[in-house]
Amino acid sequence: MEQFIINGDTPLFGEIKISGAKNAALPILTASLLADGPVTISNVPHLHDVTTIMTLLAKMGLEFTVDEQMNIEIDPNTINDFTAPYELVKTMRASILVLGPLLARHGEACVSLPGGCAIGSRPVDLHIEGMKALGADITVDNGYIHASVKGRLHGATINLEKITVTGTENLMMAATLAKGTTVLKNAAKEPEVIDLANFLNTLGADIRGAGTHTITIHGVDRLTGGQYRVLPDRIEAGTYLAAAALTRGRVKVKGIGPDLMDSILCKLADTGAHISSNCGWVELDMQGNRPKAVDINTAPYPAFPTDMQAQFVALNALAEGTSTVIENVFENRFMHIQEMQRMGANIKLEGNTAICTGVDSLNGAPVMATDLRASAGLVIASLMAKGETVVDRIYHIDRGYECIEEKLSMLGAKIQRINNKNIKS
């Protein structure tokens, strides 16, 4: 099993390029199932989750051409299997996103109930009920969703009981080829949802209102092939900027502008960071100062993202003052706190609230990653810890960060990846 060995207490300085957004690339890759011609997708990050979704699509018969820049050309017409098996879906919840495209284009789907990070309950009921509203016949048996429709799906008005990103994306994809008009109310507003809508519109879909809580999809008869570039990853950018703030350094992230990161940048400014930007980069400079503690309250976009919560817990662990971090999205997303306590962090957990009192320093210790963003929080906490920290189970971080140790090394971090075959998972 691979580990990171990190020797901390070193500020980060320099600049790095931000990769394409994982949470946009995954639905866009699955949306290629809707096209009737070749699709080329660029700026795709080289991540484990991307490999998983490509393996799933390849199992269905889709053929890929991938160049050295991770530009991916997909031929959706070679599909010969409409099943998403448990052995793949269990590793990544985003696999559920094949349900809508398969139903809309091919009239049938057999998709395993999903797995992924153990960060709380994320039921697929909203996906299933939404597909039923569009005319699908669905049963759940032996851990699989069996779905079919005679003819085409039909438009409907769907009121989502709670805001769900993957639910919004799945239903939006299904509705693109439905007969009539579909209105999704209480839809997710995330930039990645907008990116998926823009991709589908590039192929000939008629989707309006993406980025608001009401999305209207006028069904079309077909989607053609086309080319599209995935937007940059706002969470990756936020993670590196938080690491710069934590280590009292100066870091410029390139290939992304501030428009995707308003809530993150506002909180980073509250730490005392000096932030400058234009349409193609953002720079954070702590000028050697210790960050100030900031209160965090996670909620769906455009509020502060749950995917940045662990990184700010790490920042607050070493910040000046006391802060509260309230997690409103996932009920089990504080598993990194116990590991940070092993490093000397003064954090108390009360229900869905973490109370962080900043300490002068953390100490290196063996810690274990429990999910994707928790692992990012542990890594950036280790960057400012005294001595050596060993981060175990880093396969979690490989799901969402492209070459993280290489990028951190470019900024001056002392980090190396090792393979210890004697460690049991």
Active site residues: 117
Residue 30: in which H helix or E strand, if any?
Answer: helix 22-31
Query: 255 to each of 69, 182, 310, how far by Cα in Å?
Result: 15, 35, 24
* Three-class secondary structure of residue 322 per DSSP: strand
Tokens of 112: 């395993």
* Residue indicated by tokens 């706002």: 234
Amino acid at residue number 70: M
Contacts of 409 (CB under 8 A, 6+ apart): 415
Amino acid at residue number 363: N
Q: Where are the alpha helices (DSSP H) in 278-382?
A: 309-317, 335-342, 372-382
What is the CA angle 250-319-299, rounded to 5?
90
**CA–CA dist 50, 215 (Å, integer):** 27
**CA–CA dist 271, 244 (Å, integer):** 11
- Report how far apart the first and last C-alpha atoms of the chain are (Å, whole number): 7
Residue 232 pairs with which residues in a beta bridge?
20
**CA–CA dist 151, 161 (Å, integer):** 28
**CA–CA dist 360, 320 (Å, integer):** 8
Taking alpha carbons only, the member of 299, 296, 265 closest to residue 282 is 265
Amino acid at residue number 377: G
Tokens of 48: 């484990």
Taking alpha carbons only, the member of 406, 400, 370, 364 closest to residue 6 is 364
* Residue indicated by tokens 């349900």: 99
Strand order across the 214-218 sheet: 157-159, 181-185, 214-218, 206-208
Strands (E), 178-321: 181-185, 206-208, 214-218, 226-229, 250-254, 274-278, 281-285, 296-297
